[in-house]
């Protein structure tokens, strides 16, 4: 069964609107961005299109973008231009801005544009500085448990051990091959190629070590000082913060901070590290799970699902001995979410005391207990509440 990811319909709808903006599709490597756009093109809604990728270019001059734009216009004045890995072209945002603004001033020919990128390091800078007001952003996330089951037949335990990158699913019966794929095609490609091509890192070996160390603390609150102490370096905590921010901008991890009504206090807390799919956690364990590891992977997978919701902010909460796994906020709505890998009894059970302590501090919060049997229904309730 071929899975069509949700962003495809959204991009198609926007392109069919009068005078559409530039459609920007961003997300991790190997999660279906390019496949999704090709599925869109195969529908033949846009018969005249020009697709090209900047990956592997020797010369990454802005003039290359002009060349692709003109090739698209040769097919039709209203052709669709698709550029993949756009962040690999020097000064790409300025070049796109100039061409877009020129056609807007003329007001006749309307080349439609889709830009794809697998790193937000340069993308976000270009979008915010040059293309503000000219684009719509579509975030594509790692594959979740439901679509992994529908598309590839993975059960939940298989997903918790191998899930996130569908290109690796054919190898799950051979963990050695799976580990090799994940190391070479994902981690080395993103850390050794994507990030280091646009960011300065003093020690690439230490940088990679920091990534594996961070992922090994999946779903755990950890201080920058503790992380630094386990790295073979004499740097300071600013170095660790910088490394984690780079991993975050490359769609590998997310730092979740302690929930507070005051944002300054949240950002000053120690982060909880959330690898953005279970496979990145499994990689640190050589895909060899204990029962506790499955529980940890289930917790982080639900964090990833919350993070992939179309809006809102994700936190954790702790006060003395009371903890809440996740706090999700959307506008004035607030959810306190406790995760159990197995069904853990009624909500009133003493093991859920963190939820009730949170409720004392934030009376308007809705309390949610998620486990294997109900997480899809509970996630859908939250999704429905924020999309009304």
Q: Please check whether residue 366 is in contact with residue 356, taking contact to mean a CB–CB distance below 8 angstroms.
A: no
Name the maximum alpha-carbon separation found in the chain.
Answer: 69
Q: What is the pLDDT of residues 14-41, one digit of tens each?
A: 999 888 999 999 999 899 999 999 999 9
More confident residue, 262 or 331: 331
As beta bridge partners, residue 261 has: none
- Rounded Cα–Cα distance for residues 61 and 75 (Å): 23
At 224 the three-state DSSP class reads helix
Please report the pLDDT score of residue 121 as a whole number.
56
Q: What is the pLDDT of residues 27-85, one digit of tens each?
A: 998 999 999 999 999 988 888 999 999 887 666 788 999 999 999 999 998 899 999 98
DSSP symbol at 30: T
At 135 the three-state DSSP class reads strand
Q: What is the pLDDT of residues 82-116, one digit of tens each?
A: 999 888 888 889 999 999 999 888 776 689 999 99
Q: Is the pLDDT of residue 200 over 90?
A: no
If one looks up domain 6-139 in CATH, what number appears?
3.40.50.300
| Lowest model confidence (mean pLDDT) among 111-115, 222-226, 255-259, 304-308 | 222-226
DSSP symbol at 221: B
Please give the mean pLDDT across all residues of the chain.
89
For the chain, residues classed under CATH 3.40.50.300 are: 6-139
| Average confidence (pLDDT) over 151-155 | 96
At 95 the three-state DSSP class reads helix
Please report the pLDDT score of residue 133 as a whole number.
87
Q: Is the pLDDT of residue 254 over 90?
A: yes
Please report the pLDDT score of residue 59 as a whole number.
62
Q: Is the pLDDT of residue 289 over 90?
A: yes
More confident residue, 181 or 229: 181
For the whole prediction, is pTM greater than 0.85?
yes
| Average confidence (pLDDT) over 359-372 | 95
Residue 290 burial (CB < 10 Å; 0-12/13-18/19+)?
A: exposed
| Average confidence (pLDDT) over 205-217 | 93
Q: Is the pLDDT of residue 357 over 90?
A: yes
Please report the pLDDT score of residue 1 as a whole number.
63
Q: Is the pLDDT of residue 119 over 70?
A: no
Residue 88 burial (CB < 10 Å; 0-12/13-18/19+)?
A: buried
């Amino acid at each position: 069964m071929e899975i069509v990811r949700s962003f495809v319909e959204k991009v198609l709808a926007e392109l069919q609107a009068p005078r559409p903006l530039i459609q920007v599709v961003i997300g991790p490597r190997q999660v279906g961005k390019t496949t999704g756009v090709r599925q869109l093109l195969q529908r033949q809604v846009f018969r005249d299109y020009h697709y090209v990728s900047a990956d592997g270019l020797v010369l990454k001059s802005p003039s290359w973008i002009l060349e692709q734009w003109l090739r698209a216009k040769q097919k039709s004045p209203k052709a669709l231009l698709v550029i993949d890995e756009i962040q690999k072209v020097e000064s790409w945002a300025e070049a796109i801005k100039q061409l877009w603004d020129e056609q807007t001033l003329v007001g006749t020919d309307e080349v439609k544009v889709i830009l794809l990128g697998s790193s937000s390091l340069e993308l976000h800078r270009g979008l915010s500085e040059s293309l503000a007001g000219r684009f719509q952003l579509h975030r594509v996330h790692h594959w979740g448990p439901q679509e992994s089951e529908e598309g590839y037949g993975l059960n939940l335990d298989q997903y918790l051990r191998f899930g996130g990158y569908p290109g690796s699913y054919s190898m799950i019966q051979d963990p050695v091959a799976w580990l090799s794929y994940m190391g070479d095609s994902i981690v080395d490609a993103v850390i050794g190629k994507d990030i280091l091509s646009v960011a300065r890192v003093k020690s690439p070996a230490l940088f990679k070590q920091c990534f594996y160390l961070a992922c090994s603390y999946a779903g755990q609150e950890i201080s920058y000082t503790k992380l630094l102490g386990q790295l073979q370096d004499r740097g300071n905590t600013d170095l660790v913060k910088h490394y984690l921010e780079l991993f975050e901008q490359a769609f590998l991890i997310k730092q979740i901070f302690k929930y507070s009504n005051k944002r300054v206090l949240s950002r000053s807390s120690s982060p909880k590290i959330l690898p953005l799919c279970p496979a990145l956690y499994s990689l640190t364990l050589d895909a060899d799970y204990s029962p506790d590891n499955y529980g940890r992977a289930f917790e982080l997978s639900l964090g990833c699902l919350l993070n992939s919701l179309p809006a809102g902010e994700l936190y954790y909460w702790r006060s003395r001995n009371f903890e809440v796994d996740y706090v999700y906020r959307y506008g004035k709505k607030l959810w306190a979410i406790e995760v159990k890998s197995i069904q853990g009894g009624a909500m009133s059970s003493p093991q859920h005391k963190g939820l009730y302590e949170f409720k004392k501090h934030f009376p308007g919060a809705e309390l949610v207990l998620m486990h294997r049997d109900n997480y899809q229904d509970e996630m859908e309730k939250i999704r429905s509440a924020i999309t009304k």
